[in-house]
Amino acid sequence: MTKWTPTHEAPEPLEGPVVPTVIGGTVLWFVLFLAQLPFYGWFDDRGHAWWVWTCLAGAGLGLIGIWYVRGRDAAIKRDAAAREPAEG
């Protein structure tokens, strides 16, 4: 199978506004949780209560993600600042 796989260098990773993206996703999950909460009985009657709890889990995991990407962003900035005087 390897003879059919072309070999080339991997492209550079795309960097974008990671922290705002994760914050936006977390807010979206929490808003979806709040929007479904008044209809919990309807979801529960039809066996779909897990939809409500999935949204809450997404918001909770998003909070962990915010903590992670903020730390990652700070580490990238510290590394860039530490390299700047050495290069100049």
How does pLDDT run across 27-58, given as a tens digit for each residue? 999 999 999 999 999 999 999 999 999 999 99
| Residues 67, 73: Cα–Cα separation, whole Å | 10
Instruction: Count the neighbouring beta carbons within 10 Å of the beta carbon of residue 59.
Output: 19
Helix or strand run (H / E) with residue 41: helix 40-45
Residues 6+ apart with CB under 8 A from 73: 18, 19
Could you tell me if 69 and 36 are in contact, meaning their C-beta atoms sit under 8 angstroms apart? Answer: no
Tell me what pLDDT residue 87 has: 58
47 — phi, psi (to 5°)?
Answer: 75, 20
Look over the chain and give the mean of its residue pLDDT values, rounded to a whole number. 91
DSSP assignment letter at 47: T
